[in-house]
Amino acid sequence: MTSLASKTPSSVRGGLLDLNQLWRSLPQALAKLDPRALWRNPVMFIVEVGSVFTTVLALTDPSVLAWIITVWLWLTVVFANLAEAVAEGRGKAQAAALRAAKQDTMAYLEDGREIAATELKQGDVVVVEAGQVIPGDGDVIEGIASVDESAITGESAPVIRESGGDRSAVTGGTKVLSDRIVVRITQKPGESFVDRMIALVEGANRQKTPNEIALNILLAALTIIFLLSVVTLQPLAIFSKAYQAAAPDTIAINAHGVTGIVLVSLIVCLIPTTIGALLSAIGIAGMDRLVQRNVLAMSGRAVEAAGDVNTLLLDKTGTITLGNRQASEFVPVDGVSASELADAAQLSSLADETPEGRSIVVLAKNEFGLREREPGLMTDATFVPFTAQTRMSGVDIEPSLQSGEGRAVGAVAGGRQIRKGAAGAVIKWVGHSSDEVSEIVDGISASGGTPLVVAEKGRILGVIHLKDVVKSGMRARFDEMRKMGIRTVMITGDNPRTAAAIAAEAGVDDFLAEATPEDKLALIKKEQEGGRLVAMTGDGTNDAPALAQADVGVAMNTGTSAAKEAGNMVDLDSDPTKLIEIVEIGKQLLITRGALTTFSIANDIAKYFAIIPAIFAAVYPGLDALNVMRLHSPGSAILSAVIFNALVIVALIPLALRGVRYRPSSASALLRRNLWIYGLGGVIVPFLGIKLIDLIIQFIPGI
């Protein structure tokens, strides 16, 4: 399977960076120097104001050191903009791939008129035949067709779209390969699914998430605190100079106090410029990682909420289990032979096109040599379809009907009435039960299987054992969720005994059996009342209320338009298990943000030890003890700190885009890891980096 990411250049897919990518993003980074755009990032806006100030000072009182510091301060702003530009550039590359998939198409209305696809309105009905492109988003209301959705999902294998059910939604820009369908347009003009995808992956509609806003407020507060702290240094320096007249003048302090360039350098190095520069890129990259996995997040808030999820609601079929329940055994009651039960089960399943129904027909043929009979040739048979209300299906056969072999299959006077289905429904249809039947049903349910009771005209013949297999590795993944404090709940329409057996085998924390749409909605509300965030998947119209209620609602792309509108994420691959990946990506986003915030604040400590002693050691010789790095001179100390402050932003761009490696663990374990790796590392790395830069620049004249 290929994905949307496969259409994107390799240089923008991974977390690694290359020079070409930086070069392509540079014009956008320079455009972001516009103060009207930069003021939304208060930390970097202060750096830009400081850069303008030092530029003026360098022009009025030029020196080598002043100009070098000024250049590096401007580079600090450009590098910060570059981080955001690179992140947005990745989205633009994906958007370009989507635009290439769009084309000017014509729409053929049901009344025979032909109009441009852009003129379609919500509610219009169009006809699409083999070889034509579907002109807009909508639901199939008539027909069935094979559709090529590779332009959207990257998946080359065609999919089936048909009227009714949960696979009726079609997307504009996809192509019908066979047959003919009638589609009712559900999109508003200019708001197609592809148009929304393009806007979202470009970042045009990306709004800051609550956590991001809160962190911005924290960074702004820290910036104000450091501004006030640095401002107080000027009167302190003037006072110190007055009483230390014998001290030699330095680049740091002159007769008028601390030089303006040094003050600006100190502010830039002490405020949290690193995380301030990377914060926006981290958020954009989080949405980008979802797009690479063919998941479209309708907002950054949804990605962030995924990282804070406390409860996961997972469908059993297709998510926890393989979803292809197969008939494995016919269990007759006393007085009924296995072949008689198999014959009745096969007859009741001839018109059942579900995988379970077909497996019953095949098992009867393989185990008992019963030839499969064609339902179309059984003109005297009336097939009873399965409904959610009756919870059973079957067949009514006239007594005169003969099989293809000439053998009477309607030997019972008055014909045969055969039903198969849920135990409760069939027992109610028969009107009585027995301890033997209950024992068989309970035994199959307890083993994790699904029992289907077969009855004929007032008597129960036996039970069909359907098996569903739990996907390998699910228990380990649920154990990981549990380590993170996430509670998993399996949703199934099975009876409680079957649900309990599957839940125990898979390792989920709880289950909801015989679930209805109302039950799902009630469960979500109950979880949310306790202050927990809930995530779930769905694809049908009946899932829409629950998807809308959930904090993270992942709709399947194969599902109905109602489901996709209700959810805040759409999985283009329609893989229910991807919900677990989405939660992991959300966790990775929050972990990355926390790790880089820790690093940014920690490395300010090292820069403090580099600059403060350099400024005041001349007038307060005792401060020289704090010059633990033994930097060459006050000028080289200040310049080294400024250069390191700029370069560390570029060095951390790949980590911000790729994300910190995700390992399932508790919040306390994550905190310890952050403090040890990014806290301690944030202190040590600047000491080494600043000292190395000092060794290089000490030979520059005038430093």
Catalytic residue flag (residue 571): no
Distance set, CA 299 to CA 310, 534, 559, 658 (Å): 19, 16, 20, 19
Distance set, CA 696 to CA 347, 560, 689, 690, 703 (Å): 87, 63, 11, 10, 11
- Yes or no: say if 530 and 311 are a contact pair by the CB < 8 Å rule: no
For residue 564, the Cα-to-chain-centroid distance in whole angstroms is 15
* CA nearest neighbour of 651 among 11, 17, 13, 77: 17
Phi-psi region of 489 (alpha: psi -120 to 50; beta: other; left: phi over 0): beta
Tokens of 135: 């002109």
> Which is catalytic among the residues 315, 343, 468, 694?
315
Long-range contacts of 435-440, Cβ-Cβ distance < 8 Å, separation of 24 or more = 436/333, 436/334, 437/333, 437/463, 440/331, 440/333
Which residues make up each annotated binding site for Mg(2+)? Answer: 539, 543
DSSP state of 674: I
Query: Where does residue 335 rank: exposed (0-12), middle (13-18), buried (19+ CB within 10 A)?
Result: exposed
- Yes or no: say if 551 and 534 are a contact pair by the CB < 8 Å rule: yes
Radius of gyration of the chain (CA): 34
Query: Where does residue 593 rank: exposed (0-12), middle (13-18), buried (19+ CB within 10 A)?
Result: buried
Tokens of 122: 């919500």
DSSP state of 67: H
* CA nearest neighbour of 583 among 539, 550, 619: 550
Tokens of 245: 């007249």
Written as one letter, the residue type at 275 is I
The CB-side HSE value for 16 (13 A sphere, CA atoms) comes to 6
Distance CA 12, CA 291 (A): 12
Which residues make up each annotated binding site? Answer: 352, 356, 386-393, 420, 539, 543
Which residues make up each annotated binding site for ATP? Answer: 352, 356, 386-393, 420
Distance CA 141, CA 133 (A): 17
Q: Which residues are marked as active site? A: 315
